[in-house]
Amino acid sequence: MQFLEDLTDRQAADAVRSRIDWKYLLSLELGDPGFDFSVLSEFRSRIIAGHLEQQLAFGGRTMD
């Protein structure tokens, strides 16, 4: 969603806190407080460290 809307990490975290459509797509309660924007870069770093980029891009399937 962040990529589709061309948002920075800070803007995406704000969208999670304030937009009903984002909360719905993430299965969050309306009152969910969201998260700090730094969580997104930490998540990307863990994906890269675990060499999981391809699995994430293809829904868990690899392109073998």
For the chain, percent of residues with pLDDT exceeding 70: 88
Q: What pLDDT, in 10s, does the model give residues 2-33?
A: 999 999 999 999 999 999 999 999 999 999 99
Contact present, 13 and 35 (Cβ < 8 Å): yes
Decide which of 62 and 46 is more confident: 46
Backbone angles phi, psi at 13, to 5 degrees: -65, -40
Q: What is the pLDDT of residue 61?
A: 59
Contact present, 26 and 36 (Cβ < 8 Å): no
Domain spans of the chain, in order of start:
9-57
- Residues comprising the chain, all counted: 64
Q: What is the pLDDT of residue 55?
A: 76
Q: What is the pLDDT of residue 60?
A: 60
- Measured CA to CA, the distance from residue 17 to residue 52 in angstroms comes to 27
